[in-house]
A and B are shown apart, each in its own frame.
Chain A
Amino acid sequence: MSDTLQAPQDSEAQESQVDETTANTDADATEDDESEHESLLVREGDVAGDYLERLLDLLDYDGDIDLDVEAGRAVVSIDGGEDLEKLVGPRGNALEALQELTRLAVQQETGQRSRLMLDIAGWRADRRQELSDLGTATAQKVASSGEKARMQPMTPFERKIVHDAVAAVKGVYSESEGEEPKRFVVVFPE
């Protein structure tokens, strides 16, 4: 195991030694870009946090706002009292709408499109587990029956989770079909 891993590591090290100057310059530039990107994401979180905190104040809802950067995007999570369910809405539709508005508010301040993710009352985390289980179960059914299965219409966020779950099951693959907002996942036998 360690032998096979070592070979590519060595050749990479040699490559960077061959042209050390260029390699270093590239590395520095990448680092600068990354920290610039990182600070933009932190700023996105700050703007979003202010926007949402003021909303909670006006609504008189209890909620703690947590800011984070995950997988190259700003993540804002609100947790707290039962009132927050109203900001999630049926099937998370109020949450999706508020995320959209929050992204616009961020873009208004930074001048750049935001891919910020908003979660409220752990809804996305719960939904992720549910959808992942559903994707796995559907994939297993298709694998054993050999017949394709159409799933319910879902948001892009939801379909991504299902695709990931299906991809982990052997003998099946998935595609999205239909038009937004009724786009849905279809699972096929291979």
Chain B
Amino acid sequence: MSFLADSLEHLVRGIVDNPDDVRVELVTTRRGRTLEIHVNPEDLGKVIGRGGRTATALRTVMAGIGGRGVRVDVVDTDH
């Protein structure tokens, strides 16, 4: 499954100002598996996109490469 996290991390790194701050984690909860995208707060807008367009594109690509049933979330936290 790590290829999903690695691919997603790569796709996100290419479209943000702070690629070194990008981290994708595969977490398992009772509701299923989720790929959590962590980015620099400055880059949140870029990863979500206008009207959520970019986040949707990331989900669509992940669904295509075998992540169907895996949620993709952009985590909105300052940690």
A residues contacting B by CB (< 8 A) are 51, 54-55, 58-60, 86-89, 93-94, 96-98, 100-101, 104-105, 108
Residues of B within 8 A of A (CB): 3, 6-7, 10-11, 14-17, 46, 53-54, 56-58, 60-61, 63-66
Closest chain-A Cβ to B8's Cβ sits at a distance in Å of 9
B60 A59 Cβ-Cβ under 8 A:
no
A51 near B14 with CB under 8 A, answer yes
> Are B54 and A100 neighbours in the complex by a CB distance under 8 Å?
yes
24 contacts between A and B (CB under 8 A): A51-B14, A54-B10, A55-B10, A55-B11, A58-B6, A58-B10, A59-B7, A86-B65, A86-B66, A89-B63, A89-B64, A93-B60, A93-B64, A94-B61, A97-B56, A97-B57, A101-B14, A101-B57, A104-B15, A104-B46, A105-B14, A108-B14, A108-B16, A108-B17
| Nearest opposing residue in chain A for B49, CB measure | A104
B53 contact from A51, A60, A86, A100, Cβ within 8 A = A100
User: What total count of A-B pairs have CB within 8 Å?
Assistant: 59
**Contacts of A51 on B, CB cut-off 8 Å?**
14
Let me know if B10 and A108 touch, CB within 8 A.
no
Bound Cα distance from A58 to B14, whole angstroms:
14
In the assembled complex, which residues on chain A have CB atoms less than 8 Å from the CB atom of B57?
A: 97-98, 100-101
Given A93-B64, A97-B56, A108-B17, 11 additional A-B pairs, CB 8 A: A58-B3, A58-B7, A59-B3, A87-B65, A94-B61, A97-B60, A100-B53, A101-B58, A104-B14, A104-B46, A104-B54
